[in-house]
Copies of this chain bind each other. A is one copy, B any other.
Amino acid sequence: MPEASAVVASSESGRKVTLGTQVYAALSQRLVGGELAPGEKISLRHIAETLGTSVMPVREAVSRLVADGALEVSPNKAVAVPVMTREAFCELTTVRVAIEGFAAEQAAYNHKNSDMAGIAAHDAAFRRECEAAIPDRVAALKANRNFHFALYAAADLPTLMPIITGLWLKIGPVLNLDLRLSSQRLAIGGAEAQHARAIAAVRARDGKEARAAIKQDIETTAGLIAATGRLAR
C-alpha cells in the first residue's frame, strides 16, 4: 500500500478487526449514508484503490453485501447498487413495520432505565435539526438513524440488530436519493411527534403503543418517498 487511505487504515487500532470487515463497514456507511446512488456501478479494483487495500478484502465485503441484498451483481458480472421498484419498496416497508415494530415493542418491555438517556439524546439532536432555521438534512437523517438503532438496541435482542441493519442497508440509498433530489422540503413529516410518542410509550413500558408509534413513523416517511414517484417501474 503506497499511500495510506483515510477511510480504512485506522492503523493505530489493534489488529483484531480484519481488513475485510473494515471495508464492509466503510461500504455500509457509504450505502446507508447515501453516498452511493441506486444504479451506480461499483468496481472492486477502484474501491480497493480508493481504500488503499488490495482487491481481496473488497471482494469479501462486496460478497457479503450482495448476500444481504444491499448490492446486486448483474448477469453481465457488474456490481451495482440495486434500483428499487415501488413494489419492492412497499414490501420492504411492510417487513420493516413488522420487525422494527416488534423491536420497539420489546424495547418497551426490556429496556433498562439507563438506556433512555442515549435514546433521548439522539431524539433531541434530531429535533434540533428539524426545528433549525436551515436544517442540516444529512445530520438530521443521521440523528434519526441513531435514534432508531438506540431504541432497537434497548430491546436487548442481539439477533435482531443485524437483521434491522440489513433492512436499513437496503433503504439507505433510496432514502438519501430522495433527500438529495427533493432539496426544497424536509422529507420528514411529523417524525418528531412519532419519536416523542415512541419515547413516552417506552418509558411507560407500553409495548403496543411503542409499536404503533414506530409503525406510523415508518409508514408516513415511506409514504412521502413513494409519493415522489421517483421509484422505478
A residues sitting closer than 8 Å to B (CB atoms) are 16, 20, 24, 59-60, 63-64, 67-69, 75, 88, 91-92, 94-95, 98-99, 102, 106, 157-160, 162-163, 166-167, 170
Q: How far is the CB of A27 from chain B (nearest CB, A)?
A: 13
**B60, B63, B91, B162: the one within 8 Å of A157 (CB):** B91
Measured between beta carbons, the chain B residues less than 8 angstroms from A64 are 63-64, 67
Closest to A63 in B: B60
One complex includes copies of this chain to the number of 2
What 7 A-B pairs are tightest by C-beta distance, nearest first? A98-B102, A95-B159, A64-B67, A60-B63, A163-B163, A92-B159, A64-B64
Which residue of B is nearest A158, CB measured?
B91
Complex Cα distance, B166 from A64, in Å, reads 13
Instruction: Tell me the nearest residue of chain B to A60, going by C-beta.
Output: B63
A159 contacts which chain B residues (CB < 8 A)?
69, 91-92, 95, 167, 170
In the docked arrangement, what's the CA distance between A167 and B166, Å? 14
Tell me, in angstroms, the Cα distance from A59 to B158 when the chains sit together: 25
B-chain residues with CB within 8 Å of residue A95 when the two chains form the complex: 157, 159-160
Q: Which of B20, B160, B167 contacts A63 (CB 8 A)?
A: B20
- The distance in angstroms between the C-alpha atoms of A98 and B166, with both chains bound, is 17
Which of B60, B69, B75 is A162 in contact with, Cβ under 8 Å?
B69
11 new A-B contacts, CB < 8 A, other than A63-B63, A91-B158, are: A20-B63, A67-B67, A68-B162, A88-B158, A91-B159, A94-B106, A95-B157, A95-B159, A99-B99, A99-B163, A159-B167
Q: Do B102 and A157 touch (CB < 8 A)?
A: no
Closest to A170 in B: B159
A20 to B73 alpha-carbon distance, docked (Å): 14
Q: How far is the CB of A52 from chain B (nearest CB, A)?
A: 20
Residues of B within 8 A of A98 (CB): 99, 102
Q: Which residues of B contact A67 (CB under 8 A)?
A: 24, 64, 67, 162
CB distance from A65 to the nearest CB of B (A): 10
Centre residue among A16, A75, A157 by max chain B CB count within 10 A: A157
Please measure, in the bound complex, the distance between the C-alpha atom of A91 and the C-alpha atom of B155, giving whole angstroms. 11
